[in-house]
Amino acid sequence: MLSSRLPDALRYRLYRSSALLGLAVVTASLGGACGDDVTDGSGGEGGASSSSSSSVGGAGGEAGGSEAYDWGLPPGYPKPRVPADNPMSAAKVELGRRLFYDTRLSGNQTQSCASCHEQALAFTDGLAVSVGSTGEQTPRSSMSTVNTGYLSSLTWANSNLSSIAIESGLLLETQAMVPLFGEDPVELGLSGMDEVMLERLRAEPVYQAAFPAAFPDESDPFSLQSVLYALAAFQRSILSYRSAYDRYNYGGDPTALSASALRGRELFFGERLECFHCHGGFNFSDSVAHEGTTFDEVMFHNNGLYNVGGTGDYPEDNTGLYELTGVPSDMGRFRAPSLRNIALTAPYMHDGSIATLSEVLDHYAAGGRTIETGPYAGDGSQNPYKSELIAGFTLTEEERADVLAFLESLTDEALLTDPRWSNPWKE
Amino acid sequence: MLSLAAGAVGSSLLSACGDDHSHSHDGEGGGVVDPSISDVVFEGGATDEALEALIAKGATTDATQGTRFLTPTAGAVIDPSSPVVFTWAVGQASGRAPLAPRGRGTRLARRAPSLVERVVGATLGVRTAHAHGTPIDGRAYFLVFRTESNPRLLRVFTTRLDYTPSAEAWAKLTGEGGGPITAEITGAIFEQNRIPQDGGPWLGEATSFEFAV
């Protein structure tokens, strides 16, 4: 089982975090999906904010090279925060890239991380809900792995992972165990197979050089911790900073944004639409941390997507933060994802239940979604747990086009083919 | 190295965010506004907090990070009958063709001042700036128009790469009584209204123009 092979550092932190949060079981059944959650236990607070951990450090590269890691970012652009336990290095990122695309990281060797996180789709999969290696559907849509190094919380609604990040900074490292070893639902299906996986990796000639290069101080660099740390380092390196919006906003290029996109920008950041409250800042999310931030804000929102039977309920298998806390007001509360590359990551919402960006605007304009018939019928705009910011608005057709043009300007075309993040096994 | 003078923060007044949503800043929904920037016109969601951060920090010159005016061209003689669009770009981006002036520039003009702002502005003579709005992430530009006799003829702080003067601002520029007007931009990169270590500010290339008589 996973518990017998869990890296000591992570085991300790998971133990502490699970104890603090009242988690009954973490190690045996992490449950959930990349877009899903730890499903056991209770406790934790939605909208938690806390001081950031002192154990996180800069981007120095102790492992696999002492040089500072080059993020490739332009001047003035925030840099991801890096846990002191897992400094960045080019060798580690390269190993993580290979692992990210390696189907040996699934029990039946049919899927890799990239199966649900395709570079061409801004590291999502284009499905309403993702499908694991055994064919099991997860309840939630695959989230983009772009700019995850800036997040103070991962997955759609997991305050426990946020607490781990705040305490140790090992957020990505910890989260990687969910798709690898989760049993409900099964994603990569490696539960109880961590040694089998490591044997597969040891047998690969490329890894025989890559693991020692990435973890030169480890007596046995082939370990689960190394896998998790390398995967996290690679994900941390995937940064979106070259969209048209960035070229205008950071690059000072007046040709980058169309007049329509500029008008959309003003609407987006205006008080009439209120978009920026949950999707603000450089990463268009309100759960962001990076180098230099001293306060980790983690927010979850009910956006009125459902109101089953007028009770405020969400569909049983997808109740958001409530699933963890059992607190009624946490019903339907999910993390606001980054809107970077949003034009590429359809369908939308945690369950992929809205097909297009235009329909997303309809949803917010109405102050919530009304489902007329069926098991989920109800007027989401009347959900008693809905965020007060989802109040509805009206847009002219021209304004709608402007907002959409702005959202499309967040697409980072260079990211989609950047060889730093492409499949190395095809090279 | 050029240091922008940081004005003293003296008297204070409450400044509303306007519309129907209030932000907290230095308390509840209001904040301290530096009277030394009370004349500044705020555009594109730029905030006074960011401007104060910019003014407090010394600007340097760096050709790759500073701005260059695209329109009007240096030495231009401008028809004073209607406002022109001022456009600029940063570093290498200034080599690219500017966008055509927007036909609906006034559509994006500042929102109407709130009642509080109108009252405060009328009684204390302060600007109706969009104070304490969304924090700035990315670049913003402090555009200063000056003449020999008036170093603060018109000052604008904006996140945009263009500026179309309002009728009131245009009257300020055209009413100066002849002679060249110099425009200069100090830009910086902000992170939640703060300037990170490598975020400037940078002083751009100045330009000058005058009005046709």
Full 3-state SS string of A150-174:
HECCCCCCCHHHHHHHHHHCCHHHH
| B64-99 per-residue burial string, b: 16 or more CB within 10 A, e: under 16 | ebbbbbbbbeeeeebebeebbbbbbbbbebbeeebb
pLDDT tens for B83-123 read 999 999 999 777 665 444 333 332 333 334 444 434 433 33
What pLDDT shows up at residue A159?
81
User: Confidence class of residue B8 from pLDDT cuts 50, 70 and 90?
Assistant: very low
* Topology of the domain comprising A244-413: Cytochrome Bc1 Complex; Chain D, domain 2 (1.10.760)
User: Confidence class of residue B57 from pLDDT cuts 50, 70 and 90?
Assistant: very high
C-alpha distances out from residue A247 to A169, A262, A285, A302, A402, Å: 30, 13, 19, 33, 18
- Judge whether A392 and A323 are in contact, CB under 8 Å: no
Q: Does the beta-carbon distance from B93 to A255 stay under 8 Å?
A: yes
Helix (H/G/I), strand (E/B), else coil: A83: strand
- Mean per-residue pLDDT over chain B, rounded: 75
Q: Which residue, A278, A225, A283, A279, is CA-closest to A83?
A: A225
Residues of A in contact with B139 (CB under 8 A): 76, 249-250, 252
Residues of A in contact with B89 (CB under 8 A): 252-254
Name the token pair of A119: 């570079």
Give the minimum alpha-carbon distance from A403 to chain B in angstroms, rounded to a whole number: 14
Best mutation target among B42, B65, B161, B164 (most A Cβ atoms within 10 Å) is B161
CATH of domain B38-110+134-211: 2.60.40.10
Within 8 A by CB and 6+ apart from B171, the residues are none
Distance of CA B189 to the CA centre of its chain: 14
Q: How many CB atoms lie within 10 A of CB B147?
A: 18
Residues of A in contact with B17 (CB under 8 A): 271
Using beta carbons and an 8 Å cutoff, which residues of A are at the interface with B?
A: 75-78, 247-256, 259, 262-263, 266, 269-272, 274, 276, 280-282, 292
**Structural domain spans, chain A:** 2-240, 244-413
In whole angstroms, what is the distance from residue A198 CA to residue A214 CA? 16
pLDDT tens for A114-164 read 999 999 999 999 999 999 999 999 999 999 999 999 998 888 998 887 777
- Mean per-residue pLDDT over chain A, rounded: 86
- Judge whether A168 and A152 are in contact, CB under 8 Å: no
Within 8 A by CB and 6+ apart from A156, the residues are A35, A36, A37, A140, A141, A143, A320, A334, A335, A337, A350
CATH 1.10.760.10 fits A2-240, yes or no: yes
Q: At residue B77, does pLDDT exceed 50?
A: yes
pLDDT tens for A50-70 read 333 333 333 333 444 445 899
Best mutation target among B57, B94, B137, B185 (most A Cβ atoms within 10 Å) is B137
Using beta carbons and an 8 Å cutoff, which residues of B are at the interface with A?
A: 17-21, 44-45, 65, 67, 70, 87-91, 93, 96-99, 102, 104, 107-108, 134-135, 137-139, 159-162, 187-189, 191-192, 196, 198-200
In whole angstroms, what is the distance from residue A345 CA to residue A238 CA? 16
Q: Does the beta-carbon distance from A252 to B21 stay under 8 Å?
A: no
Residues of B in contact with A276 (CB under 8 A): 134
Give the minimum alpha-carbon distance from A330 to chain B in angstroms, rounded to a whole number: 24
What pLDDT shows up at residue B97?
52
Q: At residue B213, does pLDDT exceed 70?
A: yes
Q: Are strands B86-90 and B67-71 parallel, antiparallel or unpaired?
A: antiparallel
Interval A380-393 mean pLDDT: 96
| A374-398 per-residue burial string, b: 16 or more CB within 10 A, e: under 16 | eebebbbbebebbbebbbebebeee
In whole angstroms, what is the distance from residue A97 CA to residue A91 CA? 10
What was the ipTM of the complex prediction?
A: 0.83
Helix (H/G/I), strand (E/B), else coil: A420: helix
Outline where DSSP puts E strands in A8-155: 49-51, 56-57, 82-83
**DSSP secondary structure of A256-290:** SS-HHHHHHHHHHTSTTT-HHHHS-TTTT-SSB--
In whole angstroms, what is the distance from residue B63 CA to residue B101 CA? 25
Element (DSSP H or E) covering residue B202? strand B202-203
